[in-house]
Chain A
Amino acid sequence: MRHFFRLISCLAVAALLSACAASQPPAKRDYTAYKESKPRSILVLPPLNNSPDVNASYSVLSVLTYPLAEAGYYVLPVALVDSTFKQNGLTVPGDIHQVAPAKLRDIFGADAGLYVTISKYGSTYTVLDSVTVVAASARLVDLRTGTELWSGSASASSAENQNNNNNGGLVGMLISAAIKQIANNLSDSGHDVAGITSNRLLSAGHYNGLLFGPYSPHYGTD
């Protein structure tokens, strides 16, 4: 009988633990390789585009510099980098993503490369409304060794301001206010939402996000 109770209480504890585990945030990323690598400069490659909008790659590419530079990294000038690829016969992001890291390091002298993939870009129209969504994922790779240092994904939607943003706190309120303004500007809503996606994906200082770079006053504190 005593054994039986012990078994039951063990099971109960195990059940409690697994219940806790299920409601916890995603596991803390391992930053060991990232911290050892200490990248100062980032080469942003033209993003792979898996969305139906042919303009997605350049639209997203043109907004990726802001969060990376504000995080404290030197970002190689994306327009010049793009034309260097073109002059070398590389016009398709898929081909550019296949170039060996060592070769990229040779030409551009960057410490790390950022490989972005766009999964969603554009508007879905319904009878009453239109919603613009941009979703992307990114990998930061050490160009000296080919090691992956970080990866993440993010999305933004023009419909976010209609949701109850009560768990987003002040930042959530600010973002939804920004989206509200942007949603009214129908000229290029995909590009505007891409800017928010890019900031969410690549700004430093949040859980499992990028670490601060050497130009940031927060460098080395995270």
Chain B
Amino acid sequence: MTISKASRRVLPLLSLCLLAACVQAPKTLYQWEGYQPQVYEHFKGQSPQQQITELEKGLERIAAKGNVPPPGYRAHLGMLYAETGRDDLALQQLEAEKAAFPESAAYIDFLLKKYRK
């Protein structure tokens, strides 16, 4: 018995689909982009502006896919804005962190009290 024309066409497609399903990475809770590498760059002394550029780009990619940035992402970006004198943007990011993760409220409020002094 020979394999019909249709199944000859379908089989390779099917196996491709199976392979693709295997290759796909497991779903993560957050879309991380450059958060962890930028934290490391921060500790190594990289300029805030360069990190801001990277994190802003990442945030756009996360928003484009409708995903959520991980804990700390927006707070870290807020800190960098504050370091470069853009207080309104800093405040915006810190408030966004607090809104997404209410667990951060006590610490964010502690920081805001200091920034406002």
Contact = CB atoms under 8 A, between A and B. Distances in A.
Interface of A: 40-41, 58-59, 61-63, 65-66, 69-70, 72-84, 107-111, 191, 195, 215-216
Contact of A74 (B43, B76, B101): B101
Given A74-B101, A79-B43, A109 B107 contact: yes
- 10 closest A-B pairs by beta carbon, nearest first, are A109-B106, A77-B72, A41-B103, A58-B43, A74-B103, A62-B40, A77-B75, A62-B39, A75-B71, A74-B101
B29 A78 contact: no
A63 B40 CA distance: 8
Contacts of A84: 111
Given A58-B43, A62-B40, A108-B106, A77 B71 contact: yes
23 contacts: A58-B40, A58-B44, A62-B39, A62-B42, A63-B36, A65-B39, A65-B70, A66-B36, A66-B70, A70-B29, A70-B30, A74-B71, A76-B104, A76-B107, A77-B97, A79-B42, A79-B43, A80-B72, A108-B106, A109-B107, A109-B110, A110-B107, A111-B103
Nearest to A71: B29
Given A58-B40, A72-B29, A79-B42, A40 B103 contact: yes
A125 B48 CA distance: 35
Interface string B49-93: 000000000000000000000111001100100000000000000
Q: Is the interface of A mostly helix, strand, loop or mixed?
A: helix
A77 B70 contact: no
A212 B102 CA distance: 18
B30 A77 contact: no
A75 B72 contact: yes
A70 B75 CA distance: 18
A69 B30 contact: yes
A158 to B, nearest CB: 18
B29 A69 contact: yes
A64 to B, nearest CB: 9
B28 interface: yes
Contact of B29 (A41, A79, A110, A215): A215
Contact of A61 (B43, B70, B76, B104): B43
Contacts of B43: 58-59, 61-62, 79, 82
A72 B30 CA distance: 10
A171 B32 CA distance: 21
B105 interface: yes
A216 B29 contact: yes
A74 B39 contact: no
Contacts of A69: 29-30, 70-72
A107 B110 CA distance: 7
